[in-house]
Structure formats: structure tokens, C-alpha cells
Amino acid sequence: MRVEDPKLKAELSDLGVDIRSGACLAELTSLGIGGTTNLLRITKHESIPELILLLERHQIPYKFLGGGSNLLIGDGELPWLILQLAKPDPEIVIEGNLAHVDAAADLGRTVTFCAKHDLGGMEGLIGVPGTIGGALRMNAGAYGMQIGSYVREAKLYRAAKRSIEILRGTQISFEYRHTSFAPDDMMLAVTLELPSKPFKEILQGIRICNEKRRSSQPLGQKSAGCIFKNPPGASAGRMIDELGLKGLSVGDAKVSDRHANFFVNAGEASAKDMLTLIADVRGRVENAFGVKLEHEVVVWDA
């Protein structure tokens, strides 16, 4: 999808939107998969309601991209524009036990920045790629914690109301890898309320989580983290492993040898390869265990 109309281009520019033509989404996702389209970088949160109206008036479909770390995007020329927040400076402001964080901020950097200010609680998320906005939307969690527990306030573009709103943490429901936000809501910023902890103690926790992650997950490889959610009381990774599917591949899409719920792009995998592999593994798990695995990875198929 391309923005060609010069008048529309000028209107976008007036809204503080930078247009990158022919952006390759494989370069913007941790899986390294995804076709091309125009990328619109938003520099002012306040311009979003007007930007959305403008795109709708021109009947231009769009999708909102966070850090691209939990995402499988289709191949070829994509039928929608991509919107993404530009990173502001500063991305994080600390005020006592509160961390005000822009949605575009990197999750790992936020964890360490807060740690340096003696604010803990988020240690489990170290090593999880992506942005704070993505972590908030998906209620990212690991090693017994989830980000939702620390959300005091969230600022978002509420698609249903066509306006920017601030919600209290108690107005949002945070479940396992799921939140009450609508699919087309856009996360803009969050205020986290974090427990005070000495930096050294947080660092210790960070080291332990890093070590656990390194020993069980394929960190150096292109992946989107876990492909399937864990069904209640079970582990998708263990089930796939028990079926001997580690190393199973379609083209360059491969079930990781290290963690069976991570599917890696071992080279030039296409979305088609990855989707075929996902469907194959899902079918085998259903046949063997009678369990229909649900996607944890978000799929934007063209």
C-alpha cells in the first residue's frame, strides 16, 4: 500500500507524520519476516485522532506496529499502511515509585532504567524483546510476573471513541497474555507503580532471569518468542517436544532445537513457510493430545 496523493502527503506531514516509502517489515520484526508497505511514523500523540480520520476518509487500511517482536507478517506488497510511534526524548520519567513510560520505549531498557532508580518488580521481563506498548497490550509476563500488576495508568487511543483516553490500571483487565483493550486501540504511554528495591538486589534478579532464559530459549536466533499460548495446566513447548518435533522445518521456518514452542527463521523463511509449519504442528498436537493450541504470536496475514 502506497501513499501517492501529494495533497494527502502534505496533510500527513502537517500532522507531524513522517512517511517511509517501501519499508521492509522483515527488518522491523524479530522474526525477520514480512513484506513491504509505507511506514508512517507518528511524532505527536495528539495528532492520532485526526490522522485516523484522514486515513479513513481516504479509505486507506492501516495497522499499528509496536516493537514487532510478537508478530508474524505476510509476504509481498502489503494491503495496509503501518503506523508506528516515533521514540520521544526522554522515553521514561521517574517520579518517586512511578515510572512514566512512552509506549515506544524498549522494554528491556525500561527494566534496567527503573532498576537504576531502585525500582524493581519487572526483572522477569528482562530479555523479552519489544516495546512497553506491546508488553502492555499483551500483558507480557515471565517467571511468575506480568506487567499488568504494575500498571497504574495507561494512555491510549481508544478506537471506539476516536479519542485519546487515560485509564486507571483497575479499569483494565489483565489476564494471561490478554488484556481488555480492543484490537484497534493504540497504546501510547503507561505509568507503572513499582516497588522500591536496592539496585544490587534487582540486578541479582535480572541475572537469574537472564541465565534461565539463555539456558532454555534460542536467544540469538530470529523468532517471535512462543508461538502458542500454554493451555491451562499444560506446556505447549513440552507437548511439541514430546512429539519429537524439534528441528521440524518448512523451508527456513524451523521448530527450535532449544525450545519447542519457539519457531525460528533460520535464513530466508517466508510467512507462508512459517504459517504452514504452525498449522502442521498445531494439527499434530491436536491429533496426539486432543488440545487445540491457540496462537500467542499475532498474525497479520496479507
Contact track, ligand EPU, 119-158, x by CB under 6 A: -----------------------xx---------------
Among the candidate windows 92-100, 108-116, 183-191, 231-239, which touches ligand EPU by CB under 6 A? 231-239
Least distance from C-beta 31 to ligand EPU, angstroms?
12
The residue type of 12 is L
Least distance from C-beta 45 to ligand EPU, angstroms?
27
Distance set, CA 266 to CA 68, 106, 149, 150, 202 (Å) = 18, 25, 35, 36, 34
Binding of ligand EPU at residue 30 (CB under 6 A)?
A: no
Contact track, ligand EPU, 169-208, x by CB under 6 A: ----------------------------------------
Among the candidate windows 4-12, 107-115, 167-175, 226-234, which touches ligand EPU by CB under 6 A? 226-234
Least distance from C-beta 122 to ligand EPU, angstroms?
13
| Position among 41, 100, 152, 229 found at the interface with ligand EPU (CB under 6 A) | 229
Which regions of 43-193 does DSSP assign to beta strands (E)?
A: 62-65, 71-73, 81-85, 92-95, 98-102, 141-142, 145-146, 151-158, 163-168, 174-175, 178-179, 186-193
Nearer to ligand EPU, 55 or 138 (CB): 138
Buried b (16+ CB within 10 A) or exposed e, 141-154: bbeebbbbebbbbb
Q: If we measure between CA atoms, which residue out of 215, 210, 217, 225 comes closest to residue 31? A: 225
Q: Are 136 and 145 in contact (CB under 8 A)?
A: no
- Pairing of the two strands 98-102 and 151-158: unpaired
Least distance from C-beta 234 to ligand EPU, angstroms?
9
Least distance from C-beta 284 to ligand EPU, angstroms?
14
